[in-house]
C-alpha cells in the first residue's frame, strides 16, 4: 500500500494531505499558517521562504504523525492559490515577496489600459484587473531592484506558486506550470493554451522568463536534493486551487458546478470544450488540460469569504477560533433584530459580478443594542449574499435553473452558513464527506498522472455527507436582505 501526497498551498497557510493510493480514501492532513504581510493599504504579500518552510514542516509532520517515510509516497500533487505571483532566481532564491491575488497595487495601471479591455477579454476570458498575475509581474519588473538586476543577469524566473513549488521540489530542474494556473495570468491565450505575444507585449513581460505550460496531469518532474523527501518521487498533477476543488468534487463533466468557501469564495461551472463568454461579470477560464485538450469553466470570484471571519477573529477579537462564529451567530433567534444590519465584506474590492476594484468593506445598520452576535450573523449573511450574486450571474449566463450546488472548503463545516445559503439562494446545498476537496482534487490529478486512476472512476469516489435543503422558511426576511444588499452596492460603490 502506498500514499499520494497532496500539497495545498493556500492564501493563509499550507496543508499537506495523505490519500491512500489503492482506495483513494482521505487519510490525514496537517496545516500550518504563515504571516500575511500588508506593506500599505491595498497591498498584500507573502514571504516565499515562509511558504516553502510551511511546505517542509507540514510534509514532515504528516509523515511522522502517520509513521511513514518518504519512500511510502507514490506521487505528489500540487494545488495552489492561483494569481499570487513569484519572482525567484535560477538557484531557487526569492527575489521579492510574492504579490498576493488580493493585492490592488496595480489598480492605476489597469485603469490606464482599460481601452484595451475588450481585446484582452476576448483573448483571455478575463477583465483587466489587479487580481491577475500579469499586472503583478509587470509591477515587479518595473519597481523591484532585485528583479530588475535579475533581468540584466538573465537570472529571473517568474510564475505562480505552483511553479515555485515545483521548481523547489525538483531541485531547480523543472520550470513549468499548467493551463488552469496559466489561464489566470492575463498572458495566456485561452483558445491555444499558449503564452500570447500581444499580451506579453502589453504587460511588458518577456516570455523567456515564464515557465512552460503543460497538461494538468502527467510527469512534471521528480523530487531531488530535498532534506525532507527522498529523490525520485514523481510530481504528476498540478491544478489551481479552484479547478482542483472542482475536480475533487468529481466536476470533470460539462454542467458540473461547485462553490469553494475558503479565504475567498469561488464558483466554477464546467463548460466542456466550449469557451463560454459571460455577459454578466463572470470569468472564462481553463478547468484542466488533458492530452493537449483544454476543458473550460465559467467562474465567479468573491475575494472575501472566510477572510471576513478571520477579520472578526484577528482584528476585532470576537472569538479565538473561526468556527466559534457559528455559536455567536446562532444566538440570534429573532431575525427582526437583523433587518437593517448588513456586512459588506469587500476589504479588497469586489470581484464577480460587479468588478469594483476600489470598493472597501462596510458594516451598516447598527444601533446601540447591536452586539457581537448580530455582527457575526451579518458576516455569515454577507458571505452568502456575495455567493448568491454569483449564482444569479451563472443562471443568467447559462440559462440553467441551478437547483443544487456542491460546496467545499473549511467554512462549509458551518451548518448555519450552509442553511443561510440554501434559504437565501433557494437551492439545495450538498456537502461531501471530504470537504478538503482542493487537496483531494490535487491527489486525484497526481493519481491520473501516474496511471493509478482514470477519469471515469472519479465520480464513484465522491461521497455525500449532508444536504441543506431550501425549505422556503423566512422568505420575506431573505428577500428583504437581497433587496438591501443590491441597494447598498449601488449606493456605496
Q: How many domains does the chain have?
A: 1
Provide the CATH number for the domain around residue 47: 3.30.420.40
Q: Identify the domain containing residue 167 by its residue range.
A: 3-244
Q: Do residues 238 and 77 make contact, with C-beta atoms less than 8 angstroms apart?
A: yes
What is the predicted pLDDT for the residue at 472?
62
Q: Within a domain: residue 197? A: yes
- Residue at 15 is within a domain: yes
Q: Is residue 372 part of a domain?
A: no
* C-alpha 211 chain-centroid distance: 20
Task: Tell me, yes or no, whether 60 lies in a domain.
Answer: yes
* pLDDT score, position 462: 86
* Cα 10 from Cα 80, distance rounded (Å): 6
- Each residue of 440-464: b (16+ CB within 10 Å) or e? bbbbbbbbbbbebbeeeebeebbee
Task: Give the burial class of 350: count Cβ atoms within 10 A of its Cβ; 0-12 exposed, 13-18 middle, 19 or more buried.
Answer: buried
Taking a C-beta distance cutoff of 8 angstroms, is the pair 445, 399 a contact? no
- Residue 427, pLDDT score: 92
Residue with cell 477579520: 311
Q: What is the pLDDT of residue 252?
A: 84
| 84 part of a folded domain | yes
CA-CA-CA-CA torsion sign (266, 267, 271, 272): positive
Q: What size, in residues, is the chain?
A: 493
- Residue 64 has a CB neighbour count (10 Å cut-off) of 11
User: For residue 269, what are the CA distances in angstroms to 182, 288, 407, 475?
Assistant: 18, 12, 12, 27
User: Is the link from the previous residue into 118 a cis peptide, with omega within 30 of 0?
Assistant: no
Place of cell 492605476: 108
The order of strands in the sheet holding 98-99 is 45-46, 98-99, 85-88, 157-160
Partners of 350 in the beta sheet? 356
Query: Considering the domain boundaries, does residue 213 fall inside one?
Result: yes
The CA distances from residue 330 to 12, 94, 378, in Å, are 26, 45, 11
What local confidence, expressed as pLDDT, does residue 468 receive? 94
Predicted pLDDT at 473: 66
* pLDDT tens for each residue of 420-474: 999 999 999 999 988 888 999 999 999 999 998 888 788 788 888 999 998 766 7
Cβ atoms of 382 and 488 closer than 8 Å: no
d(CA 446, CA 139): 33
Q: How far apart are CA 116 and CA 137, in angstroms?
A: 18
Residue 486: inside a domain: no
Q: Residue ranges of the chain with pLDDT lower than 50?
A: none
Cα 125 to Cα 127: distance, rounded to the nearest angstrom: 7
Indicate whether 347 belongs to any domain: no
Amino acid at each position: 500500500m502506498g500514499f499520494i501526497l497532496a500539497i495545498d498551498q493556500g492564501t493563509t497557510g499550507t496543508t499537506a494531505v495523505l490519500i491512500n493510493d489503492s482506495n483513494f480514501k482521505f487519510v490525514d492532513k496537517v496545516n500550518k499558517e504563515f504571516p500575511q504581510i500588508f506593506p500599505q493599504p491595498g497591498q498584500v504579500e507573502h514571504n516565499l521562504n515562509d511558504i516553502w518552510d510551511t511546505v517542509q514542516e507540514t510534509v514532515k509532520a504528516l509523515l511522522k504523525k502517520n509513521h511513514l517515510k518518504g519512500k511510502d509516497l507514490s506521487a505528489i500533487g500540487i494545488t495552489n492559490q492561483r494569481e499570487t505571483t513569484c519572482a525567484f532566481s535560477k538557484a531557487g532564491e526569492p527575489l521579492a515577496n510574492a504579490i498576493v491575488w488580493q493585492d490592488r497595487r496595480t489598480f492605476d495601471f489597469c485603469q490606464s489600459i482599460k481601452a484595451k479591455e475588450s481585446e484582452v477579454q476576448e483573448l483571455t476570458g478575463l477583465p483587466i484587473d489587479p487580481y491577475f498575475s500579469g499586472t503583478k509581474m509587470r509591477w515587479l519588473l518595473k519597481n523591484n531592484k532585485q528583479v530588475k538586476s535579475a533581468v540584466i543577469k538573465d537570472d529571473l524566473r517568474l510564475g505562480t506558486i505552483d511553479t515555485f513549488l515545483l521548481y523547489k521540489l525538483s531541485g531547480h530542474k523543472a520550470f513549468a506550470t499548467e493551463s488552469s494556473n496559466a489561464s489566470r495570468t492575463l498572458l495566456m491565450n485561452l483558445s491555444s493554451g499558449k503564452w500570447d505575444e500581444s499580451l506579453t507585449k502589453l504587460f511588458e513581460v518577456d516570455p523567456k522568463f515564464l515557465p512552460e505550460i503543460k497538461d494538468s496531469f502527467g510527469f512534471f518532474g521528480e523530487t531531488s536534493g530535498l532534506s525532507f523527501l527522498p529523490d525520485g518521487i514523481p510530481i504528476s498533477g498540478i491544478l489551481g486551487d479552484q479547478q482542483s476543488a472542482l475536480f475533487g468534487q468529481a466536476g470533470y463533466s460539462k454542467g458540473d458546478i461547485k462553490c469553494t468557501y475558503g479565504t475567498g469564495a469561488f464558483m466554477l461551472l464546467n463548460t466542456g470544450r466550449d469557451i463560454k463568454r459571460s455577459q454578466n461579470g463572470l470569468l472564462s477560464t481553463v478547468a484542466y488540460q488533458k492530452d493537449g485538450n483544454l476543458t473550460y469553466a465559467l467562474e465567479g470570484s468573491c475575494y472575501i469569504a472566510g477572510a471576513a471571519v478571520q477579520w472578526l477573529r484577528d482584528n476585532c477579537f470576537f472569538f479565538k477560533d473561526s468556527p466559534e462564529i457559528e455559536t455567536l451567530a446562532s444566538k440570534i433567534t429573532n431575525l427582526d433584530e437583523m433587518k437593517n444590519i448588513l456586512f459588506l465584506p469587500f476589504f479588497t474590492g469586489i470581484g464577480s459580478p460587479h468588478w469594483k476594484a476600489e470598493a472597501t468593506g462596510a458594516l451598516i445598520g447598527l444601533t446601540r443594542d447591536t452586539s457581537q452576535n448580530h455582527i457575526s450573523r451579518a458576516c455569515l449573511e454577507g458571505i452568502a449574499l456575495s455567493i448568491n450574486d454569483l449564482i444569479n450571474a451563472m443562471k443568467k449566463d447559462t440559462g440553467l435553473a441551478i437547483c443544487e450546488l456542491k460546496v467545499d472548503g473549511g467554512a462549509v463545516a458551518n451548518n448555519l452558513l450552509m442553511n443561510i445559503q440554501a434559504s437565501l439562494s433557494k437551492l439545495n446545498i450538498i456537502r461531501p464527506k471530504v470537504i478538503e476537496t482542493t487537496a483531494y482534487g490535487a491527489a486525484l490529478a497526481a493519481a491520473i498522472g501516474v496511471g493509478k486512476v482514470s477519469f471515469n472512476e472519479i465520480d464513484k469516489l465522491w461521497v455525500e455527507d449532508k444536504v441543506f435543503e431550501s425549505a422556503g422558511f423566512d422568505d420575506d426576511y431573505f428577500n428583504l436582505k437581497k433587496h438591501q444588499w443590491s441597494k447598498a452596492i449601488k449606493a456605496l460603490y
